[in-house]
Amino acid sequence: MNDVVKRDVRSIAAALGFIMVGALALYYSAYFSPLGSVFPRVIAVLMIVLSLVYVGVAMLRPGTAPSDPKRGSTPRRALLAAVMFAWALLLQPLGFLTTSVLCYAAMLFIANYDRWTPRMAVIYTATGVAVVGSLYALFAYVLQVPFPQGALL
């Protein structure tokens, strides 16, 4: 089978768009307070650097033409969007950690196509706790982003 080597022009264009958004975020973060500008600047620099890396890799090493994607499940997509909306609504009353763990579990149950095994349940649980805990530590202690104080955590 002959694979057609082709650059992913849409992804390269999206990466260039992210570079522009990052540059705008850097520009406008100059108007924030020193503490308030930490998070937007870190994210903007990461967005610019990673987008530049992607563009470089995509230009130097083009891949094969993408095959036709398989159709997904529209109800699952709608449920995932509903869970993200619920996360935004529950963040204030429940707090970041509680809401994030609950919504992570809900998204995992909705998005998982594989059969559940005890081993995978332990891996998914440990991964979720590690990711949510790491994000909380990163935002709260490194980037100093204030979190809403919910009823739980």
Q: What is the pLDDT of residues 70-87, one digit of tens each?
A: 667 888 889 999 999 999
Any idea which of 11-15, 21-25, 124-128, 146-150 has the lowest mean pLDDT? 146-150
How many whole angstroms separate alpha carbon 42 and alpha carbon 26?
Answer: 9
Vertex 92: Cα angle to 94 and 124 (nearest 5): 50
Q: What is the mean pLDDT of residues 19-34?
A: 91
| Size (the chain), residues | 153
DSSP state of 30: T
Three-state DSSP class for 75?
helix
Residue ranges covered by each domain of the chain: 5-64, 74-142
The pLDDT score that the predictor gives to residue 46 is 95
User: Could you identify the residue written with the tokens 């522009």?
Assistant: 20
User: Could you identify the residue written with the tokens 């090493």?
Assistant: 61
Contacts of 123 (CB under 8 A, 6+ apart): none
Rounded-to-10 torsion of CA 105, 106, 109, 112: -90
Vertex 142: Cα angle to 125 and 100 (nearest 5): 30
How many whole angstroms separate alpha carbon 51 and alpha carbon 18?
Answer: 7
pLDDT tens readout for residues 6-15: 778 888 999 9
